[in-house]
């Protein structure tokens, strides 16, 4: 299934909305996310995992198994540096995934993992992620079909056109993606 990431939640302050979609598929071992972005500005300063990738040209996937209190966030800049953690809120009970778990996430990106300062122009880029399902369904092996509460995001905090766009609308006064109450639901087959 392909989802458009096109909800401009804080339009008066952050009106920019790059064209962004994500295609979601799965098998019994992995979740596959294929993000496609077309937009102005491109930035990739962070090259290491668990660094501030959201400041760069970034796509994000947050998910929660229905009924659980914690959720997972997977944030990836355009060169494949990632943030990943299990958490209860933006700053509540945050447990970053260790390096060995982060290494299990397969990443394919349009650009090599080499830092560069912001570039102006029109850019098209893609990020493909293969996330092992046992990183999401930590307590049990999923039985399919399986529902998952999610939201997908596109952001770039430190570009000339900072933006905070989501798949599902977020009804908060200021930018904040760490809000599972606004997740939508997808079904894994």
- Walk me through the domains of the chain, giving residue ranges and CATH numbers: 2-171 (2.60.40.1190)
Chain segment 52-84, per-residue pLDDT in tens: 999 999 999 999 999 999 999 999 999 999 999
CA distances from 20 to 46, 61, 80, 99 (A): 21, 13, 17, 28
What tokens appear for 59 in the block? 């796509």
- Are 163 and 67 in contact by the 8 Å Cβ rule? The answer is no
DSSP state of 80: S
Q: How high is the pLDDT of residue 143?
A: 87
Phi, psi (degrees; rounded to nearest 5) at 35? -90, 140
Chain segment 137-156, per-residue pLDDT in tens: 987 788 899 999 999 999 99
Reading the chain (189 residues) residue by residue, the pLDDT tens digits are 999 999 999 999 999 999 999 999 999 999 999 999 999 999 999 999 999 999 999 999 999 999 999 999 999 999 999 999 999 999 999 999 999 999 999 999 999 999 999 999 999 999 999 999 999 998 778 889 999 999 999 999 999 999 999 999 999 999 999 999 999 999 999
């Amino acid at each position: 299934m392909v989802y458009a990431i096109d909800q401009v939640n804080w339009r008066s302050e952050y009106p920019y909305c790059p064209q962004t979609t994500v295609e979601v598929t799965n098998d019994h071992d992995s979740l596959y996310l294929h993000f496609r972005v077309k937009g102005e500005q491109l930035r990739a300063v962070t090259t290491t995992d668990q660094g501030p990738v959201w400041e760069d040209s970034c796509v994000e996937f947050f998910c929660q198994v229905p009924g659980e209190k914690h959720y997972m966030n997977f944030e990836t800049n355009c060169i494949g540096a990632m943030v990943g953690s299990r958490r209860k809120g933006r700053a509540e009970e945050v447990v970053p995934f260790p390096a060995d778990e982060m290494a299990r996430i397969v990443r394919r990106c349009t650009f090599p993992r080499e830092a560069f300062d912001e570039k102006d122009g029109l850019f098209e880029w893609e990020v493909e992620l293969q996330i092992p399902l046992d990183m999401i369904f930590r307590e049990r092996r999923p039985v399919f079909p399986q529902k998952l509460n999610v939201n997908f995001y596109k952001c770039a905090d430190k570009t000339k056109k900072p933006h905070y766009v989501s798949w599902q609308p977020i009804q908060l006064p200021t930018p904040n993606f760490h809000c599972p109450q606004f997740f939508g639901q997808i079904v894994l087959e």
